[in-house]
């Protein structure tokens, strides 16, 4: 992966972050803002495609810290790639139709976020599956995935 692509991916992640903040600024748009900000990422998730993109970003792009921004950006790049391939042209109507048809079923090698039902878009162009990944933090600043069960590393700790 070239450094130009890495920079582009971080730009896409930054736009998602800004849209999340914008959406969270008012109660009527908070759900939309939350969807922009949510991701299903934890480096320990039991998800082969996520582990492969983490290894690619670490080994080929030489990123020493890989967080949710990198994963969101990589997923966004795959969405754009499939949209443009599906559109077959730069026509805005064709691109809009192609985006509506983009689907990453669960288990797809290009699905990098933990969505048990896969990644697809609803009529409002937001992700159809609004689920998120839940983690628990460890004393050593590490994390363990506890939900969804398909990607969980451990069961949640009991409340103390």
57-113 pLDDT, tens digit per residue, is: 888 888 777 777 777 788 888 888 999 999 999 898 998 899 889 999 988 999 888
Asked whether residue 51 carries a pLDDT value surpassing 70, the answer given is yes
Q: Is residue 111 part of a domain?
A: yes
Q: What is the pTM of this model?
A: 0.63
The more confident residue out of 117 and 8 is: 117
The more confident residue out of 15 and 100 is: 100
Nearest to 55 by CA among 9, 63, 30: 63
State the pLDDT at residue 93.
Answer: 92
Q: Is residue 157 part of a domain?
A: no
Number of domains, the chain: 1
Alpha-carbon separation of residue 113 from 28, 155, 160 (angstroms): 26, 20, 30
Query: What is the Cα–Cα distance from 157 to 4, expressed in whole angstroms?
Result: 41
State the pLDDT at residue 17.
Answer: 60
State the pLDDT at residue 103.
Answer: 93
Nearest to 23 by CA among 38, 34, 14, 11: 34
Q: Is residue 21 part of a domain?
A: yes
pLDDT for 128-154, tens place per residue? 877 777 777 778 877 787 887 887 888
In sequence order, what are the beta bridge partners of 137? 143
Q: Is residue 152 part of a domain?
A: no
Average pLDDT in the 116-122 region?
85
Q: Is residue 12 part of a domain?
A: yes
State the pLDDT at residue 59.
Answer: 87
- Cis geometry, peptide bond prior to residue 148 (ω within 30 degrees of 0): yes
The more confident residue out of 13 and 143 is: 143
State the pLDDT at residue 138.
Answer: 76
Q: Is residue 153 part of a domain?
A: no
Place of tokens 């970003």: 57
Asked whether residue 1 carries a pLDDT value surpassing 60, the answer given is no
Average pLDDT in the 112-119 region?
82
Q: Is residue 156 part of a domain?
A: no
Contacts of 63-72 with C-beta under 8 Å, sequence gap 24+, read 63/6, 67/41, 68/13, 68/39, 68/41, 69/10, 69/13, 69/14, 69/17, 70/9, 70/10, 70/13, 71/39, 71/41, 71/112, 71/113, 72/12, 72/13, 72/16, 72/39, 72/41, 72/113
State the pLDDT at residue 104.
Answer: 92
State the pLDDT at residue 19.
Answer: 61
Domain that holds residue 96: 3-147
State the pLDDT at residue 21.
Answer: 59
Q: Is residue 160 part of a domain?
A: no
Determine the 3-state secondary structure of 114 from DSSP.
Answer: coil
| Rounded to 5°, angle at Cα 146 from 140 and 152 | 105
């Amino acid at each position: 992966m070239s450094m130009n692509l890495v920079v582009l991916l971080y730009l896409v992640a930054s736009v998602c972050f800004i849209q999340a903040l914008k959406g969270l600024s008012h109660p009527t748009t908070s759900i939309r803002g939350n969807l922009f900000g949510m991701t299903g990422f934890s480096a320990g998730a039991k998800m082969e495609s996520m582990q492969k993109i983490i290894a690619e970003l670490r080994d080929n792009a030489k990123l020493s810290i890989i967080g949710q921004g990198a994963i969101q950006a990589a997923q966004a790049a795959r969405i754009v790639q499939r949209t443009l391939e599906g559109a077959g042209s730069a026509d805005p109507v064709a691109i809009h139709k192609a985006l509506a048809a983009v689907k990453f079923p669960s288990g797809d090698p290009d699905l990098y976020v933990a969505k048990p039902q896969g990644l697809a878009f609803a009529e409002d162009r937001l992700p159809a599956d609004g689920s998120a990944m839940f983690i628990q933090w460890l004393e050593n600043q590490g994390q363990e995935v506890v939900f969804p069960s398909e990607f969980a590393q451990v069961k949640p700790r009991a409340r103390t």
